[in-house]
Amino acid sequence: MMRENIGPLNVFIRLICGFTLLALGTARLVRSPMGLMPLFTTIMGAMKVAEGLTRFCPMVYLMEERMGYYEEPFDYEEPFDGVEFDEMIHQ
């Protein structure tokens, strides 16, 4: 199940940029229907609009999953506490 993983400001920015790219790509696609760049721009804009509407970004999800492996609690035991260290120095 998809859960929301982007905040409200990020949603707003994605929607604005997505609609802008979608409009720009569509306008250019009308002029040159066989061009690859207008098609790419339209697809990217549609993807950003979809991410903004669903509040779910697959790339953020993948990065959170990847970082989850590295953020496991590190079991670190202090080799010396302060008292033992002072005793070692003063011997």
- Please report whether residue 75 resides in a domain: yes
Domain residues for 20? 8-89
Q: Is residue 59 in a domain?
A: yes
- On whether residue 81 sits in a domain, the answer given is yes
- Is it the case that residue 86 has pLDDT exceeding 90? no
Q: Specify if 63 maps to a domain.
A: yes
Read off the pLDDT of residues 36-84 as tens digits, 9 standing for 90 and up.
999 999 999 999 999 999 999 999 888 888 877 545 555 555 555 555 6
- d(C-alpha 36, C-alpha 51), whole Å: 23
- The tally of domains found in the chain comes to 1
70: in domain: yes
Spatial contact of 55 and 11, defined as CB atoms under 8 Å apart: yes
Q: What is the pLDDT of residue 68?
A: 72
Handedness of CA 70, 73, 77, 83 (dihedral sign): positive
Q: State mean pLDDT over 85-90.
A: 61
Pick the range with the lowest mean pLDDT from 31-35, 59-63, 84-88.
84-88
